[in-house]
Copies of this chain bind each other. A is one copy, B any other.
Amino acid sequence: MMRMGDVGRKVRFGVIGLGKRGMWHLSELVQMKDVEIAAVCDPWPDRVDQAVRIVEDACGFRPDAATDDREVTGRNDIEGVFIFSNWESHIRIALDAIRSGIRPALEVGGANSVEECWELVRTSEISGVPVMLLENCCYCREEMTLLNMIRHGVFGELVHVQGGYQHDLRDEIGNGDVTRHYRQRHFLHRNAELYPTHELGPIARYLSINRGNRMVSLVSVASKAAGLHAWFTEHRADSALAGAPVHEGDIVNTIITCANGETILLTHDCTLPRPYSRGGRIQGTRGIWMEDTRTIYLDGISPADPSYWDHRWESDEKYMAEYKHPLWKEYEEYGLRGGHGGADYLVIRAYIESVQNQTQPPIDVYDTAAWMSVTALSEHSIAMGGLNVPVPDFTGGRWITDRKKAEGMYSLD
């Protein structure tokens, strides 16, 4: 088994989507000795030029440049492609890649429809080309520690888990150029749990979703959309945004029910003032953990009086240290690198090493489809006035039987 920092077989990749996030990833990729960036692509030539320079400066050669993503996914000399483009194109580009035998890695985002999630699954199954979703939060230190705690039974039988994408994006949305901003148009035109995977990805692993459990239904309810309008009126009075109708409710709560009876609460909260939080909460028959307070309460361990009126929270600090995930122990010895507290590096390496070693990626096509589909399903639920809608079983029943666990050091199983 490879150790962190080992240089593997050199693999050629394409990179599609060179906005802020794509450029950030590219700057990390060019530093990896076993990665060769064969082509870079974005509809905007200024971005492509900049990306070519980044690769040339770091690696000493000019990658091919494209403004049409099909020029990259149509190649026969690359093994993988990174898809960092706008949300609505992730699955379409991934499908093009799979059909060329290229393994796609998708940056996160929600699906446009449930149908495209099915198409992703079917096309991957028929071709045998694996897909990976680059959900960095699955590799965050805190989330991996919690996964480890859950595997050790610290919380007993899990009953309820919640999380959110709670990030005041008013300034970012309000400053974005309509034609070049991947988020803005979704907030103006859709009403859905637009961005579920940062919290749902880790939660799905806590609850063994697609590995003995699955999401069976969900209901979403959206509040009114008041935040962006108020902000545009105050801060962008001279722009077209000031009068733009906003469809996305400020707070979208989604409750998912799982086959084993657990519930998941997701909160999308991006257009009202607030500090950032993913609002994590884990509850089982033996304890509870809360992200916002960084506290834990464990039955029979944390302080309580016998009448159960005086349970007291503990700081989660010592538990976080005690249950640090083995991958993170190794990572800290090796040295953290890259963005988002080091998690970006881990998820990117998990994908690269699955390509190098021709193994199944730890976040596979069934996870990708199930997690991304929540956006489209929540859109249905809201449109139908808060109807509880079924979540498809993208595994075709394989969630019940023991699916083959992901191999390698980056396995989340």
- Within A228-275, the residues touching B (CB, 8 Å) are 230-231, 249-251, 253, 255, 257, 260-263, 265, 269, 272-275
Contact A223 B160 (CB under 8 A): yes
Verify if A51 is at the interface (C-beta below 8 Å from B): no
**Chain A 271-290 near chain B by CB (<8 Å), digits 1 or 0:** 01111100000011111101
Interface residue tally for chain A (C-beta within 8 Å): 59
Verify if A226 is at the interface (C-beta below 8 Å from B): yes
Contact A273 B292 (CB under 8 A): no
In whole angstroms, what is the CA distance A269 to B169 when docked? 31
Contact B217 A385 (CB under 8 A): yes
A263-B222 contact in complex given A275-B297, A275-B311, A283-B274, C-beta closer than 8 Å: yes
Contact B171 A262 (CB under 8 A): no
Q: For residue A229, which residue of chain B has the nearest CB?
A: B285
Contact B224 A276 (CB under 8 A): no
Most buried by B among A160, A260, A275, A283: A275
Q: For residue A309, which residue of chain B has the nearest CB?
A: B276
In whole angstroms, what is the CA distance A212 to B342 when docked? 50
In whole angstroms, what is the CA distance A63 to B273 when docked? 57
Cβ 8 A contact of A171, one of B217, B290, B308, B312 = B308
Q: Shortest CB–CB separation between residue A345 and chain B, in angstroms?
A: 20
Q: Shortest CB–CB separation between residue A340 and chain B, in angstroms?
A: 12
Q: For residue A230, which residue of chain B has the nearest CB?
A: B285
Q: For residue A227, which residue of chain B has the nearest CB?
A: B285
Q: Shortest CB–CB separation between residue A167 and chain B, in angstroms?
A: 8
Which chain B residues border A285 with CB–CB below 8 Å? 226-227, 230-231, 272-273
In whole angstroms, what is the CA distance A404 to B61 when docked? 78
Cβ 8 A contact of A272, one of B169, B275, B284, B292 = B284
Q: For residue A228, which residue of chain B has the nearest CB?
A: B285
Most buried by B among A170, A224, A297: A224
Contact A159 B224 (CB under 8 A): yes
- Within A288-313, the residues touching B (CB, 8 Å) are 288, 290, 292-293, 297-299, 306-309, 311-313
Verify if A96 is at the interface (C-beta below 8 Å from B): no
Which chain B residues border A74 with CB–CB below 8 Å? none
Contact B287 A223 (CB under 8 A): no
Q: For residue A387, which residue of chain B has the nearest CB?
A: B388
In whole angstroms, what is the CA distance A222 to B299 when docked? 22
Binding site for B on A (CB under 8 A): 156-157, 159-160, 168-172, 217, 219, 221-224, 226-227, 230-231, 249-251, 253, 255, 257, 260-263, 265, 269, 272-276, 283-288, 290, 292-293, 297-299, 306-309, 311-313, 385-388
**Extra inter-chain contacts (15) besides given A168-B311, A224-B262, A230-B285, CB under 8 Å:** A156-B230, A159-B251, A221-B255, A221-B263, A223-B263, A226-B261, A253-B255, A257-B386, A272-B284, A273-B285, A273-B297, A274-B297, A275-B297, A276-B311, A387-B387
15 examples of A-B residue contacts, CB within 8 angstroms: A157-B226, A157-B230, A159-B226, A221-B263, A224-B261, A231-B285, A251-B263, A253-B255, A273-B285, A274-B283, A274-B311, A275-B313, A292-B292, A387-B388, A388-B388
